[in-house]
Structure 1
Amino acid sequence: MNSSVKSPKEWWPSPAKLNLFLHILGRYDNGYHQLQSLFQMLDYGDQLAFEITRNEGSSNENNVSIRMDTPLKGVPDDDNLIIKAARLLAKKTQCNKGAVISLDKRLPMGGGIGGGSSNAATTLVALNYLWDTGLSEDELAELGLALGADVPIFVRGVTAFAGGVGEDITPAPQPEKYYLVANPNVHVSTAEVFTSPDLPRNTPPIRWDDYEYEKTRNDCQQLVANRYPEVAKLLQWLVHYAPSRMTGTGACVFATFSDYTLAEQVRAEMPATWQSFVAKGVNRSPLLDKLEQQK
């Protein structure tokens, strides 16, 4: 085989998630918020590919070459969660291999559907396999928590209830419905939402066994809708067709359907100024399926 001919890239899924609800129970002494949420995995998201390289000599992480094939616009490599995740794994395991990482970006940044956190988790899971570093799922989830509160949920890859700051995860399979997810094309700062004095911080905890969508809410939604009129406008439009709610700290909004065709019909009616997609809610992440196929 001609060594100059590159083999086709092998893509690893980096799926989106929805927060079907988000309750804020209080605030810890360290400033983080105590949350309850239901993370719903979707069968749609970004994709990542990894070209593994070898480094000569020391296994010191400073000598490990990890870079994006095409840097993410507006995000320096040092600030990119993908690069941070790969470097963290290399440092933790003293791995002297490197990687050139490609990203097929489909999910909006700052949309509340987990794009960056999911990218970091896929990087940890894929490179742990491709570098043969041998960390367990628990160890990868612990590494991921250092990168962001949502990263462990993507490492574990199951639809689940979450407590604490998001790291206390209880698998909770849900009926696999269809979701029309729409982006109002505004960027909501998570830090701005969580530092606002107007954010509710006293919602009583619920028992997971008692969960019903209709009895929950997103405690961030009203605050964001007040500050971002386009989010409010999108919510008002969607709720005419199906139960609708903002996910996470926004800005994306979702509507729930039992039928794929109906979801696509509503999507076709949506004003072109809003980007959108229809995805199926799944109880097992496509990332776990990809990893299983490798073994």
Structure 2
Amino acid sequence: MTQQWWPSPAKLNLFLYIIGQRPNGYHDLQTLFQFVDYGDSLSFNVRDDSAIVLTTPTDGVADEDNLVVRAARLLQAHAGVSQGAEISLQKRIPMGGGLGGGSSNAATVLIALNALWQCSLCDTELAQLGVTLGADVPVFVMGHAAFAEGIGEILQPVEPEEKWYLIAHPGVTIPTPLIFGDPELTRNTPKRTVNVLLDTPYANDCEPIARKRFYEVEQLLSWLLEYAPSRLTGTGACVFAEFDTESAARQVLDKMPTWSRGFVAQGVNISPLHHFREVWLRTAGKA
């Protein structure tokens, strides 16, 4: 059988508001997640023993700390699986960019190995496992664009417009704790209903801090705003500009400053991972 690569898509936070902070330091959010048709890929070979082997280690990240390995071991233990897996990762999503790469990788591992190991867990169960790995993992597991509350794990499916995006990286990495720990971060944005938020111009409460602390983010956003509505995604460092057509996005991509890099992708409300799983299940005769 030819090697199969399971999608691990990037996400955007189309808006992100911080409405409070918990005693444990976590922040209560209201955010809108949408996937894009661009991301990493993972392949899997099932092993007869219980070893979890990552054949493509990530520089600077020990295997024990890698979300790919942690997700595999979590599912293995939860489902009582005696098999193992060799996992390869093709990385395209910038690390530390606010595009959810690590969380998406973890979700793809949970979805793929649940199928390959025949664990028979539903997506809701996998999402409950995933939240122990990170607050963004459940939305990737559930596979539908969502309005999220809590720390990002309380999900309500929504259908935002599937626009085209120029997603740009300013060449810096922003540690999430740096943004959430800034004393000037807005933490009291009023809580609103999803219908009100969807009809209100989108914004990101983390953006002023990222622009203040990182000149490169400020510079890139100021440049993009000359062409289209543009915002930070997550806590950064990536920013994105929205367009109605692919050609309009690519025209601006061609003009990007040489010190930054970017790509064009379409927003999608159903995750490419879930489309792939449907085809895999039909091909494997399990659907």
**Which TM-score tier does this pair reach, normalised by the shorter chain?**
over 0.9
Structure 2 gap segments, 5+ residues each = 282-287
Match of 1:142 among 128, 133, 148: 128
Q: Report the Cα distance in structure 1 between the residues aligned to 2:273 and 2:227, rounded to whole angstroms.
A: 31
Counterpart position of 1:102: 88
Check conservation: 1:241, 1:266, Cα contact below 8 A: yes
Counterpart position of 1:80: 66
Counterpart position of 1:131: 117
> SS where residue 125 of structure 1 aligns?
helix
Counterpart position of 1:22: 16
Which contiguous aligned blocks of 4+ residues in structure 1 show a shift greater than 4 angstroms?
none
TM-score (norm 2): 0.96
Counterpart residue type for residue 54 of structure 1: D
**Cα deviation code 1:235-255 (max 9, x no counterpart):** 000000000000000000000
Check conservation: 1:46, 1:106, Cα contact below 8 A: yes
Q: How does 1:261-276 map to 2 (within 5 A)?
A: 261-276=247-262
> SS where residue 269 of structure 1 aligns?
coil
Q: Report the Cα distance in structure 1 between the residues aligned to 2:156 and 2:199, rounded to whole angstroms.
A: 17
Match of 2:31 among 22, 28, 37: 37
Residue 213 of structure 1 deviates from its aligned partner by 6.5
Counterpart position of 1:58: none
Check conservation: 1:53, 1:100, Cα contact below 8 A: yes
Match of 2:100 among 110, 114, 118: 114
**Cα deviation code 1:99-131 (max 9, x no counterpart):** 111111001000001000000000000000001
Q: Report the Cα distance in structure 1 between the residues aligned to 2:161 and 2:176, rounded to whole angstroms.
A: 29
Counterpart position of 1:246: 232
Match of 2:269 among 279, 283, 288: 283
Counterpart position of 1:60: none
Q: Report the Cα distance in structure 2 between the residues aligned to 1:143 and 1:180, rounded to whole angstroms.
A: 33
Q: Report the Cα distance in structure 2 between the residues aligned to 1:215 and 1:181, rounded to whole angstroms.
A: 19
Identical residues among aligned pairs (%): 52
> SS where residue 113 of structure 1 aligns?
coil
Q: Report the Cα distance in structure 1 between the residues aligned to 2:276 and 2:19, rounded to whole angstroms.
A: 36
Q: Report the Cα distance in structure 2 between the residues aligned to 1:93 and 1:190, rounded to whole angstroms.
A: 32
Counterpart position of 1:90: 76
**Cα deviation code 1:236-290 (max 9, x no counterpart):** 0000000000000000000000010010010011022212111111110000111
> SS where residue 170 of structure 1 aligns?
strand
For these two proteins, the number of residue pairs brought into alignment is 281
Check conservation: 1:13, 1:47, Cα contact below 8 A: yes
Q: Report the Cα distance in structure 2 between the residues aligned to 1:18 and 1:48, rounded to whole angstroms.
A: 20
Counterpart residue type for residue 191 of structure 2: P
> SS where residue 168 of structure 2 aligns?
strand
Counterpart position of 1:166: 152
Residue 8 of structure 1 deviates from its aligned partner by 2.8
Counterpart position of 1:59: none
Match of 2:171 among 165, 168, 185: 185
**Cα deviation code 1:153-174 (max 9, x no counterpart):** 0000111100000011000011
Residue 142 of structure 1 deviates from its aligned partner by 0.4
Residue 74 of structure 1 deviates from its aligned partner by 1.4
Q: Report the Cα distance in structure 2 between the residues aligned to 1:31 and 1:217, rounded to whole angstroms.
A: 23
Counterpart position of 1:233: 219
> SS where residue 254 of structure 2 aligns?
helix
Check conservation: 1:21, 1:213, Cα contact below 8 A: no
Structure 1 gap segments, 5+ residues each = 1-6, 56-63
Please tell me whether residue 66 in structure 1 is matched to residue 60 in structure 2: no
Residue 28 of structure 1 deviates from its aligned partner by 1.5
